[in-house]
Amino acid sequence: MSNNSKTIRVDYLARVEGEGALYIKIKGDTVTDVKLKIFEPPRFFEAFLRGRNFTEAPDITARICGICPIAYQMSSCHAMEDACGVTVDGQLRALRRLIYCGEWIESHVLHVAMLHAPDFLGYESAIHMAKDHPDIVQKALKLKKIGNEIVALLGGREIHPINVRVGGFYRVPTKSELRELVPNLQWARDAAYEFVRWTGTLEFPDFEQDYEFVALRHPDEYPFNEGRLVSNKGLDIAIREYEEHFVEEHVEHSNALHSVIKGRGNYFVGPLARYNLNFDKLPPSVQKAAQEAGLGPVCRNPFKSIVVRAVETLYACEEALRIISEYEMPEKPYVEVRPRAGVGCGCTEAPRGILYHRYRIDDQGIILDAKIVPPTSQNQKTIESDLWHFVPKNINLSKEQLTWKCEQAIRNYDPCISCATHFLKVEIEREWI
Amino acid sequence: MPKAKKPKVAVWKFASCDGCQLSLLDCEDELLAVADAVEIAYFLEASRAVVKGPYDISLVEGSITTPHDAERIQEVRRVSKFLITIGACATAGGIQALRNFKDVKEFISIVYARPEYISTLEKSTPIAEHVKVDFELRGCPVNKYQLLEVINAFLNRRKPNVPSYSVCLECKRRGTPCVMVARGTPCLGPVTQAGCGAICPAYHRGCYGCFGPKETPNTASLSAWWRKLGVQEQDLVRAFRGFNAYAEPFRKESEAYEQQ
């Protein structure tokens, strides 16, 4: 046994969205410090939303994240409709699910094949991986493109779509426009199924913790836009009650705001949480594919999140095909929403987990204040907790190998630091250029 | 014959949403060909491998908002032969430049529990305010085909074919009836640079200016037309204070109406 102390430092985490750093301090065989640092510059969205019109929130908040703009548009629309006492249903509601399917496909496939798989196969990036596994990378690119096609058709473009508004859409597609997506989506469904099988064959470290998983749950469907917030440890609340149960704590060791469940602590959001809390809502074909890939109805190993992302990609392809087959063009592309003074909340399932928005508006529709809690800030404390437990089990690896494994453990959460940062403490490190 | 050395491309990020660099990964049909033609030497969103500079082309996303980033951009300039800024944050300061019209200290205390920890500049500024920029590609987000065109042009030492005329021309080419004339919908298209493909009018909404001001825009005239459509002054201020709020023609126009 050695008494050497060593420090694992990754000054710039790669293959995550946004900028973060990792510091782990080890004395002998004991981990003495773990810090996941976020040094993405703050952008002050909640501040400059004050004084803007309620109809501007979907376009403005989309700019928090270029990878999941739909999530921001959906949560803000639902929050504003909640404030104004409006419900969007029928085909407009279905189209919202459809555009979310597109975002899940493009975001999940980007992560599964291009950001996370290289860790499992020992490549620095998907571009390096493409030399030995061209079929996987090419198939992933095509699958991702089909997700983007859904977003681009319904939203106008892939990144920061322009067609989503409070109350619905500016323009809705015709039946034949949507039908044109079908052949590609059928190919995508088969390709996604192969990805489920393939991710199931990867090697996974034996690692799990007693997590509290939190996700939306809806009586009739796998969740995108609506439902109650539930957990495997007894949480079961309406979205409006979010702030009574979740708080941001200022944790001294990391100087970051960490979201916790009052009285219990850290929790886990994202694909694994959704899957564990909603397995029964997946169609039998998707459940079967998950089982063939070695997943039970509950999976507590965060390294297997790559399989669950593939399963959700398959679900999104099937759900998109279902919505398109049942589509009838609505008479009006949106429901009229008149502002009234009040508070509205929205929470939807971004690819990385629940995204909560709350706004207070006046009777003219001017935003008085805003609160946004992105998924990555909710997972941050759980990511650190994983590292506290993961490092001692792998202490015999070389420093280089251990560093890479720790990066992989962080990438299990597909962290989006661009999202998290607008309210996390920012710590500037001077060592990197 | 030995292969010629591939040009090295780096992608840098400052205050931004990651969307413009994602545009590169969204080139699903072209990505592997691009990776074949150039050495992607520094692109942390995609790869943990880092090849040391200097770089032939640096693509820079994001605006300068912290003292540290103001230093870092100088270093990026030093290691780059050509520096190309991509997107509204890098070319105009982005949506976060809305702080430039307010007191940033107040902003910090609204968002953060412990304001003393936040190190930030009073203004969010475009890259060109700090270093020499060889080309500015507009858009929130950039158009991925324009991005490929710019990379291609610099690799081949030619001028990028990126027009500076207005969105109106793209509407005409697309055959979209003018939303202002036909529907009375306020539209920033006449003063906004083309490049998006005039998407908003094709989806029955007015342009909201995400590609920033066109060359020599007549913002005052457009504002007068908006007023005739019944748009209130405070709504005109908000319209020009979007993703390119700090680009000079838009900034001046919003300030003109704020003062009234």
Q: Is residue A384 part of a domain?
A: no
Inside any domain, residue A386: no
Residue A191 contacts B, CB cutoff 8 Å: no
d(CA A354, CA A371): 14
- ipTM at complex level: 0.95
Question: Half-sphere exposure of residue A130, counting CA atoms within 13 Å on the CB side?
Answer: 18
Residues A55 and A36 in one domain: no
Q: Give the CATH number for residue A163.
A: 1.10.645.10
Per the prediction, chain A carries an average pLDDT of: 90
A9-46 pLDDT tens trace: 777 766 666 667 788 888 877 888 888 877 667 788 98
In-domain check, residue A247: yes
Cα separation of A45 and A61, whole Å? 7
Q: How many CA atoms lie within 13 A of B32 on its CB side?
A: 18
CB A41 within 8 A of CB B120: yes
Asked if residue A66 and residue A20 are part of one domain, the reply reads no
Domain of residue A21, residue span = 4-42+399-432
Counting residues of chain A whose pLDDT is more than 90, the rounded percentage is 72
Q: Do residue A26 and residue A153 come from a single domain?
A: no
Residue A257: beta bridge partners?
A250
CA atoms within 13 A on the CB side of A210: 3
Nearest-Cα distance to chain A for B158, in Å, is 27
Write out pLDDT tens, residues A49-68: 999 999 999 999 999 999 99
A303 domain-assigned: yes
Report yes or no on A13 lying in a domain: yes
Same domain, A265 and A184: yes
pLDDT in tens, A382-410: 998 999 999 889 888 888 888 888 889 98
- As beta bridge partners, residue B129 has none
Please judge whether A255 and B114 are an interchain contact, meaning their C-beta atoms are less than 8 angstroms apart. Answer: yes
Chain A: closest CA distance from residue B184 (Å):
15
Do A287 and A426 lie in one domain? The reply is no
Contact flag A41-B243 (C-beta cutoff 8 Å):
no
The answer to whether residue A332 neighbours chain B at the CB level (below 8 Å) is: no
Task: Confirm or reject contact between A68 and chain B (CB < 8 A).
Answer: no
CA distances in angstroms from A153 to A77, A95, A146, A184, listed in the order given: 19, 11, 11, 13
Which among A13, A127, A165 has CB closest to B40?
A: A127
pLDDT (tens digit, 9 = 90+) per residue, B19-57?
Answer: 999 999 999 899 889 988 999 998 887 888 888 889 999
Residue B4 has pLDDT above 80, yes or no: no
Residue A314: other Cβ atoms inside 10 A: 28
Inter-chain touch A59–B208, beta carbons under 8 Å: yes
Question: Which is nearest to B215 in space by CA: B252, B180, B190?
Answer: B190
Residues A217 and A154 in one domain: yes
Residues A125 and A262 in one domain: yes
CA angle B69, B73, B76 (to 5 degrees): 135
Shared domain for A308 and A405, answered yes or no, is no
Whether residue A388 lies inside any domain: the answer is no
Q: How far apart, in whole angstroms, are the C-alpha atoms of residue B21 and residue B212? A: 19
Which pLDDT band, with edges at 50, 70 and 90, does A249 fall under?
Answer: confident
- Number of structural domains in chain A: 2
Determine if the pTM surpasses 0.90.
Answer: yes
The alpha carbons of chain A give a radius of gyration, in whole angstroms, of 21
> Do residue A217 and residue A292 come from a single domain?
yes
Q: What is the pLDDT of residues A121-173, one digit of tens each?
A: 999 888 889 999 999 999 999 999 999 999 999 999 999 999 999 999 999 99
Residues A109 and A18 in one domain: no
Q: B193 to chain A, minimum CA–CA distance in Å?
A: 17
Report the largest interatomic distance among the alpha carbons of chain A, rounded to a whole angstrom.
73
CA pair distance B15, A159, nearest whole angstrom: 17
Measured between alpha carbons, how far is residue A203 from residues A206, A303, A390, A391 in Å? 9, 9, 16, 18
Report the pLDDT value the prediction gives residue A41, as an integer from 0 to 100: 73
Asked, for residue A114, whether it belongs to a domain, the answer is yes
pLDDT, one tens digit per residue, over A194-241 is: 999 999 999 999 999 999 999 999 999 999 999 999 999 999 999 999
Q: Are residues A419 and A353 in the same domain?
A: no
- B171 CA to centre of own chain: 21
What's residue B202's pLDDT? Answer: 98
End-to-end CA distance of chain B: 70
When CB atoms are compared, the residue of A41, A130, A171 closest to B203 is A171
Q: Check CB contact of A76 with chain B, cutoff 8 Å.
A: no
Nearest chain B CA: its distance from A232 CA (Å)? 30
Structure-token match 């280089």, residue found: A400
Structure tokens at A196: 């489920």
Flag whether A385 is in a domain: no
CB B255 within 8 A of CB B225: no
CA distance linking residue A49 with residue A61, whole number of Å: 9
Cβ contacts of A110 on chain B, cutoff 8 Å: 25
Q: What is the pLDDT of residues A80-103, one digit of tens each?
A: 999 999 999 999 999 999 999 999
Same domain, A345 and A416: no
Hey, is the C-beta of A113 within 8 angstroms of any chain B C-beta? no
Alpha carbons A80 and A70: distance in angstroms, whole number: 15
Inspect the interface and report whether the beta carbons of B120 and A42 lie closer than 8 Å: yes
Of A15, A48, A165, the CB nearest to B46: A15
